[in-house]
Amino acid sequence: MPLPQVVAVATPSPAAAAGLLVGDEIHTVNGQVPRDVIEYRLLVDEANLELEIGRGGLSFNVAIDKQAGEPLGVEVSSPVFDRVRTCDNHCEFCFIYQLPKGMRKSLYIKDDDYRLSFLYGNFTTLTRFTELDLERVVSERLSPLNVSIHATDAELRARMLRNRRGAISLRWLRQLLDHGIEVHGQIVVCPGLNDGLALEETFAGVLERFSELASLCAVPLGVSRFSTESAMRPHTADEARAVCEAVERWQERFLAATGRRLVHAADEYYLLAGMAFPAPESYEGFVQHENGIGMARAFEASFLGQPLERLAGGATGSHGGFFRSVDGAPAYGYRAERFAGSSTKGAGRSEVTILTGVYGARVLRPLVDSAGAAHVAIEAVPNDFFGGNVGVAGLLTGTDLSRHLAGLPENRRYLLPDVCLSEGRFLDGMTLSDLPRPVEIVETDGAALRAALGLGVPEGRARRRRPIAIGLRSEPARAEAVR
C-alpha cells in the first residue's frame, strides 16, 4: 500500500511551522493509516495532530497544534493510497480499449472507484460497489457521485457492460438516491445497441425508478481507428438527430413529472445532426458542463459577455473536479493542471490563427464572424492520431498539431486551447517545445479567447437576447461529417 507523500507545503501553515518538507511520507495520522485523501482530510481536520513521518529512511513523530478545521497546509501525491478500484467490465464501447500502444501508462487504467467519482467527477458503473461502500458514502456524505447507466433494462445493461453484475448493480443507485446522495447519470449511446426504442425505454425507466437523479446526459459513442469491435460504429447524422429529438421529447415529460428537464444531449449530437444548440436556460445550470453538455452555449455566453445564472465549477473554462472541496487532494488524471502560466504572451489584433478540433471549429467560426474579427483564421486540425469519429479539441495530439503547423505560415500568432494539455503534455507525450511553430496557450473560455484576440468588450452585450445559431452547417458539410 503506497503512503501519501508530501508534494507541496503552504507557507505559512501549521505543516510549515512543524517542519514538514516536500518528499516526506505520512505513515499515520493520530495513529491511523488513511486509505485515501478523503479519509486523510477527515483525520487532519482535527486539532492537535500527531503524524508519523518517514524521511530519508527514518521514521519519527511530529506534533502539530492547530485549530479544528484549520487546513494543515499539505498537498499529497495521490488521491488514493490503497489500490484504485479498477473496472471489471469489458464494455465494447470503452475508449481505453481503443488506445494505441506506447502512450502514458496512466491512460490505460480503467477505474470504477466511487472515491474518484466523488473527487474528480469520474463515472462509475457501481458493479464493484458494496454494502460497506454504501455505508461510507452515506455516513461521510460523499456527494455528488457520477454513475454510468447506459440502459435500465437489466439484460441490455449486462450485455453492454459484458458483466452479469451489470444487471443488478443499479440497485445501488436506488439506495444512493434513497439516502439523499446527489447523483448525475450518463448514457453512452451506441448505434444499434441502446439507441432508438431502447433509449426511449431507458428514459422511461429513469422516470419510473430514478427520477431523483440530479441530471442525466446522452453522449455519443466514440470510435477510434484502433477499435477492434466490429459492431461499434459512429452515429450517422440521421441517428444523431433522432437522439436529439428523443431527448427533447423526454425533457418535456420530465419537466411535467418532476419540474426539471433532467436529460440533456451532448453538444456533439447537435453538431453532427446540423441542429442549433438549445437555449442556455434549457441546460438548467450546466451541471454536466465538463461532460460536453452545453459547453458550446456556455462558451458563446462567455465570448459575448453574457452572464449565466449558474455554471458548475464556477467558470466556463473550469477544469477542476470536486477535489476542490477536499483540502490536499492533488489535481489528477484528465483534471490535472493543463499548463502552468497559460495566459497568452502577445494578445492583440495581429494576424491570428486559432488551432482547434473539427467540432471546436464549427462552434468558433460563427462567434468569430459575429465579432467582425477579419484578422482571425480558424484551423480545424483533423485527428489522424486516433482517427474514427474523434473530433474534440481535448483529444488533439502533438503529432497531429505538428504535421498541421508545418504547412502553415510562420508570421502569425497561433492560439491553442489549454484543454489539449495535461501537465504541459499532449496525450502522445509531446510538449509545446516539440511543435514546429511557437504556440500560445489560451484558457478554454470564451472571455479568455476574446481577450487573446484583442477584441475588447462586446458592444451592446446587455441588449443581446437571442443566442447565435452556432452548430448549424450546410447539407454538404453534414454529409462530409458522416463520411
Examine residue 178 and state whether it is found in any structural domain, yes or no.
yes
The pLDDT value given to residue 254: 98
Asked if residue 40 and residue 107 are part of one domain, the reply reads: no
Asked if residue 312 and residue 214 are part of one domain, the reply reads: yes
Asked if residue 288 and residue 150 are part of one domain, the reply reads: yes
Contact 150, 187 (CB under 8 A): yes
Examine residue 81 and state whether it is found in any structural domain, yes or no.
no
Q: What percent of the chain has pLDDT over 70?
A: 86
Asked if residue 117 and residue 69 are part of one domain, the reply reads: no
Give the chain's length: 483
Nearest-angstrom CA–CA distance, 406 and 73: 45
Asked if residue 325 and residue 381 are part of one domain, the reply reads: no
Here the CATH number for the domain that contains residue 112 is: 3.20.20
Boundary (domain end) residue, out of 285, 303, 333: 333
Examine residue 467 and state whether it is found in any structural domain, yes or no.
no
Examine residue 478 and state whether it is found in any structural domain, yes or no.
no
Alpha-carbon distance values, 250 to 5, 67, 152, 199, 323 (Å): 48, 50, 15, 11, 32
Q: Which class for 51: exposed (0-12), middle (13-18), buried (19 or more C-beta within 10 A)?
A: buried
Asked if residue 361 and residue 303 are part of one domain, the reply reads: no
The pLDDT value given to residue 340: 56
DSSP structural state of residue 167: G
Examine residue 415 and state whether it is found in any structural domain, yes or no.
yes
In the chain, how many domains are there?
A: 3
Is the torsion defined by CA of 321, 326, 330, 333 positive or negative?
A: negative
Contact 264, 189 (CB under 8 A): no
Examine residue 1 and state whether it is found in any structural domain, yes or no.
no
Nearest-angstrom CA–CA distance, 94 and 98: 7
The pLDDT value given to residue 342: 47
Examine residue 445 and state whether it is found in any structural domain, yes or no.
yes
The pLDDT value given to residue 278: 95
Diameter of the chain by CA atoms?
A: 70
Asked if residue 362 and residue 302 are part of one domain, the reply reads: no
Here the CATH number for the domain that contains residue 393 is: 3.40.50
Asked if residue 108 and residue 61 are part of one domain, the reply reads: no
Here the CATH number for the domain that contains residue 37 is: 2.30.42.60
Task: With residue 270 as reference, give the H or E element that holds it.
Answer: helix 267-273
| Low-confidence stretches of the chain (pLDDT beneath 50) | 313-325, 342-343, 462-465, 473-483
Asked if residue 327 and residue 209 are part of one domain, the reply reads: yes
Asked if residue 288 and residue 243 are part of one domain, the reply reads: yes
For 463, residues 6+ apart whose C-beta sits below 8 A from its C-beta are none
Asked if residue 65 and residue 117 are part of one domain, the reply reads: no
Examine residue 481 and state whether it is found in any structural domain, yes or no.
no
Boundary (domain end) residue, out of 333, 367, 395: 333
The pLDDT value given to residue 462: 43
Give the angle subtended at the CA of 88 by the CAs of 240 and 336, to the nearest 5°.
70
Q: Which domain holds residue 384?
A: 352-457
For 134, residues 6+ apart whose C-beta sits below 8 A from its C-beta are 172, 175, 176, 179
Asked if residue 278 and residue 212 are part of one domain, the reply reads: yes
The pLDDT value given to residue 100: 87
